[in-house]
Amino acid sequence: MAPPLIFDVHLDLALNAIEWNRDLRLPLADVRAAEAHLHDKPGRGRGTVSLPEMRRGRVALCVATQLARLEHDAYSPIFGWRSPAQAWAMTQAQLAWYQAMEDLGEMCQIRDTASLDAHLAAWESADPTATAHLPIGYILSLEGADSLRSVSHLEKAWEQGLRAIGPAHYGPGVYAQGTDSLGGFPPAGLELLRECGRLGMILDVTHLSDACFWQALELYEGPIWASHHNARTLVPHQRQLSDDMFRALVARNAVVGLALDAWMMVPNWQRGQTTPASAHLHLENLLDHLDHFCQLAGNTHHVGLGTDLDGCFGTEQVPQGLDSIADLQKLPDLLAARGYSPADTDGLLHGNFLRRLRSAWATS
């Protein structure tokens, strides 16, 4: 029996390809070797994602991002661009990379239920040797809306295939307040929400300030999900979802993707100091967050995977026992050991987000 398919709803593939200069068509060992001498960014030589590794782990489908934020404070340590025009240009470069991967048969863009069903059927019917050559399906998402030069640019992005959007990233943004920021949506952000609703965009509430989160749930009538979050109760930080937030998302039939960034998995992580070994961090820690959310919901239907692997970090900041994204295939055994049924596992690995996606597209 073939291992289950995995749907990872948050991977910054184009950022890695364009800004980190990684050729993700290569075997992971080659990607690491090519940058082993570099020290300009954390995680150099320690990446966990390549397209061959995704195929090996049967990560057949992902939500792949465009990401180019503005530098709102010239002295801020958070990366960004100096103007919306530059940020827009970067997202267009990232889009061009995805399109190049399509031309080469490495990836295929999923825009609707027809293309989704055809892609999944190809993977489910292929024998193991054939999957080594199948394209990875991707749904395009914008992480942080700073790069939209105007709200009218959202329709252009939709025509390019954009199907989900998170209005904020870290810090203050043009359209929303992000992680570690306070306050609600500015007027431009409220206009953006209206345009998202008109287009039928999936609203990703990840990275929103608490005020923006609650405002979004009140105002946005379209489909919602949270692509990469863990539980604030287990690891206290504004970046995480509180119990009340998770319950509100359940009430909206949303699904939450669990993230594998170490500091979101265990408390008291100090970047550059704590290590996976010193924190005794393993994949089982992710299941603690999964258990917590499932207990709140009373079922397993509102949790999935949004790993954020290689989201500006590498193996220095992921659980022990996970050397590459292919190691997500360790999760079925770990879930079974905790008493999750095969049906639960299928939902957690792909089915829950597929249900949310099909529902969103059926009503858009």
CATH number at residue 264: 3.20.20.140
Q: What is the pLDDT along the chain (364 residues), one digit of tens a residue?
A: 789 999 999 999 999 999 999 999 999 999 999 999 999 998 999 999 999 999 999 999 999 999 999 987 754 556 789 999 999 999 999 999 999 999 999 999 999 999 999 999 999 999 888 888 999 999 999 999 999 999 999 999 999 999 999 999 999 999 999 999 999 999 999 999 999 999 999 999 999 999 999 999 999 999 999 999 999 999 999 999 999 999 999 999 999 999 999 999 999 999 889 999 999 999 999 999 999 999 999 999 999 999 999 999 999 999 999 999 999 999 999 999 999 999 999 999 999 999 999 999 997 6
Distances (CA, A) of 323 to 7, 64, 309, 340, 358: 18, 21, 11, 24, 32
Residue 158 in domain: yes
Residue 252 in domain: yes
| Prediction pTM value | 0.97
Q: Count how many domains the chain has.
A: 1
What residues contact 165, with CB distance under 8 A and at least 6 apart?
141, 142, 145, 154, 196, 201, 202, 203, 204
CA 140 to chain centre: 10
- Any idea what DSSP says for residue 240? S
Residue 188 in domain: yes
Identify the pLDDT of residue 71. 85
Residue 261 in domain: yes
Domain with 73, as residue range(s), is 7-363
Residue 2 in domain: no
3-state secondary structure of 173: coil
CB 117 within 8 A of CB 146: no
Question: Distance between CA atoms of 181 and 297, rounded to whole angstroms?
Answer: 28
Residue 283 in domain: yes
Q: Take residue 353 and report the two structure tokens written for it.
A: 């987000």
Residue 1 in domain: no
Residue 65 in domain: yes
Shortest CA distance to 94 belongs to which of 170, 19, 174, 161?
Answer: 19
Q: Take residue 8 and report the two structure tokens written for it.
A: 């990872």
> What type of residue sits at position 82?
R
Distances (CA, A) of 72 to 75, 79, 90, 211: 9, 10, 17, 20
